[in-house]
Amino acid sequence: MVIGSGLVGACAAYELSAAGLTVTLLDAQRSGRASDAGAGIASPQTFHDRDEHWYRFGCSALQHLRDLVGRLAEDGVAVGSDAFSACGSLVLALAEHENSFFDEVCSAVLGRDPTVSEITPDQATSLFPPLAPPWRALYSPQSARVDGHLLCRAVREAAVRRGATSVTAAVARIERGSGKSLRVVADTDTTDCATAVLAAGSWSPSLAETLGAELPVSPTKGEIVHLSSKADGGSQDTESWPMVQPILNFYLVPWPGGRVACGGTFEANAGFDVCPTAAGLRDLLRECLTIAPGLAHSSVVETRVGLRPMSPDDRPMLGPLVQAPELHVCTGHGANGLLMGPYSAALVATGIVSGRPAPELAPYSPSRFS
């Protein structure tokens, strides 16, 4: 049983089905799922966190995304550039007072990946025309963007083609069954299974609790505004623009068809509220137009809200629970779910199939909080 069919859960179901296991994918289709709202920055090349294992994990995750798109195509599920594309990314210092912060980013980033380089402000604005001229800029041509909603739909379809059963149902609790089995109690049925994967994002802790396990993951609300960029009465060629990651501001992610997403707010105490707010929209538009004043005449299309599942150390929780080894957790990715989630799910699936947790998951074991 896989509980949660966001991108992480869908990928777990796909990997387990591809390995020949009998899989049922359960999902309550709750509003606020992070996969449907995330901006989709897949750019480990521009990580300035000095945790080398995390950086390498991110690079492996991006390569896994590229491989996954190819595997889906082999399974007859096409994934176009609307769902995944290597568009590149700009990391910016917007003003001179950000220079010291930018130097710190450079010292972490430039020594890791030879494809990343510092470019001139004019070069940056030529790549993303609406930009205000930045103070300094790094360019990463291999960074990619992920549309979580579209990719998730493709992965679910491929999982079903591989034999998985997809059921819309809210899971009420997880119990111990006979022997070493688990019993998953949903609103439509009760099913025993040998193994379960808990990939319900911010809703995972309440389900782990029904088994007596504590899972320190909490929702952080994020609002992202989507704009439709117009010029001379027609859509600009936003598909070729890179993502924009100012070091001290919100980010911009361009998509085909003139769409540009600006995100994202971090609201740690909003609970499970999924309503856009006036304050959130104000902050997003203010920062968006500070970064890219050329977007001032864009239309506001929608505001999306997602609940990022955050752990206390901002790292995911991956692998079997100590209290219930038959329950494998795959959640807590925070703002990195669309990049890290598919790779994490594949590693968790590998551990289930082999009977031994994948060694790459050791730093992210849920037991670190036990």
Does the pLDDT of residue 234 top 60, yes or no?
no
| pLDDT tens sequence across 202-221 | 999 999 999 999 999 999 99
Residue 129: inside a domain: yes
Q: Are residues 302 and 159 in the same domain?
A: no
C-beta contacts of 359-365 below 8 A and 24+ residues apart: 360/57, 360/60, 361/318, 361/319, 363/53, 363/315, 364/315, 364/316, 364/317, 364/318, 364/319, 365/317, 365/318, 365/319
Does the pLDDT of residue 101 top 80, yes or no?
yes
DSSP codes joined into one string, 239-291: GGSPEEEESSS-EEEEEGGGEEEEE---BTT-TT-----HHHHHHHHHHHHHH
Q: Are residues 97 and 155 in the same domain?
A: no
Mean pLDDT to the nearest integer, 354-359: 92
Among residues 310, 333, 348, the one where a domain terminates is 310
Q: Are residues 167 and 204 in the same domain?
A: yes
Residue 200: inside a domain: yes
CATH number for the domain that contains residue 163: 3.50.50.60
Q: Are residues 202 and 231 in the same domain?
A: no
Position 235 confidence tier, pLDDT thresholds 50, 70, 90: low
- How far apart CA 17 and CA 341 sit, in angstroms, is 17
Under DSSP, the state recorded for 333 is: B
Position 370 confidence tier, pLDDT thresholds 50, 70, 90: confident
| pLDDT tens sequence across 260-308 | 999 989 999 999 999 999 999 999 999 999 999 999 999 999 999 999 9
Q: Are residues 261 and 279 in the same domain?
A: yes
Mean pLDDT to the nearest integer, 63-83: 94
Residue 55: inside a domain: no
Among residues 310, 328, 361, the one where a domain terminates is 310
Q: Quick one: which of 204, 216, 207 has its CA closest to 8?
A: 204
DSSP codes joined into one string, 126-164: HHSTTPPPPSEEEEETT-EEE-HHHHHHHHHHHHHHTT-
* 138 touches 106 (CB < 8 A): yes
- Of 118-122, 323-327, 340-344, the one with minimum mean pLDDT is 323-327
Position 236 confidence tier, pLDDT thresholds 50, 70, 90: low
Q: Which two tokens stand for residue 9?
A: 């859960």
* 252 touches 288 (CB < 8 A): yes
- Of 107-121, 150-164, 214-228, 233-247, the one with minimum mean pLDDT is 233-247
Q: Are residues 161 and 207 in the same domain?
A: yes
- How far apart CA 243 and CA 143 sit, in angstroms, is 8
Residue 68: inside a domain: no
Mean pLDDT to the nearest integer, 165-194: 90
Number of domains, the chain = 2
Does the pLDDT of residue 232 top 60, yes or no?
no
Mean pLDDT to the nearest integer, 70-98: 94
pLDDT for the residue numbered 104 = 95
Q: Quick one: which of 348, 349, 339, 350 has its CA closest to 366?
A: 348
Give the position of tokens 């439709």: 228
Q: Are residues 160 and 301 in the same domain?
A: no
The pair phi, psi for residue 355, each rounded to 5°, is 85, 5
- Domain of 240 in residue numbering reads as 89-141+219-310
The pair phi, psi for residue 99, each rounded to 5°, is -60, -45
Q: Which two tokens stand for residue 80?
A: 């176009």
Question: What are residue 98's DSSP bridge partners?
Answer: none
Residue 57: inside a domain: no
Residue 56: inside a domain: no
Residue 60: inside a domain: no
Q: Are residues 156 and 131 in the same domain?
A: no
Give the position of tokens 């960074």: 143
pLDDT for the residue numbered 323 = 87
Give the relative orientation of helices 148-161 and 7-18 as an angle to the nearest 10 degrees: 20
Residue 134: inside a domain: yes
Mean pLDDT to the nearest integer, 27-56: 92
Q: Quick one: which of 345, 251, 268 has its CA closest to 309?
A: 268
Percent of the chain with pLDDT over 70: 98
User: What average pLDDT does the chain have?
Assistant: 94
Does the pLDDT of residue 182 top 80, yes or no?
yes
Handedness of CA 305, 309, 314, 319 (dihedral sign): negative
Q: Are residues 298 and 231 in the same domain?
A: yes
Q: Quote the distance between the C-alpha of residue 262 and its chain's center.
A: 15
pLDDT for the residue numbered 230 = 65
- How far apart CA 76 and CA 370 sit, in angstroms, is 43
Mean pLDDT to the nearest integer, 56-61: 97
Mean pLDDT to the nearest integer, 112-122: 96
Q: Are residues 213 and 235 in the same domain?
A: no
Mean pLDDT to the nearest integer, 4-11: 95
- Of 9-18, 64-73, 173-182, the one with minimum mean pLDDT is 173-182
Q: Is the peptide bond before 80 cis (omega within 30 degrees of 0)?
A: no
Q: Are residues 259 and 226 in the same domain?
A: yes
Mean pLDDT to the nearest integer, 21-44: 92
| pLDDT tens sequence across 313-330 | 999 999 999 989 999 999
Q: Which residues contact 136 (CB under 8 A, 6 or more apart)?
A: 92, 93, 99, 102, 118, 121
Q: Are residues 136 and 235 in the same domain?
A: yes
**Strand bridging mode 259-263 / 251-255:** antiparallel
Among residues 263, 288, 310, the one where a domain terminates is 310
Mean pLDDT to the nearest integer, 122-133: 97
- How far apart CA 262 and CA 252 sit, in angstroms, is 5
Give the position of tokens 């006036």: 278
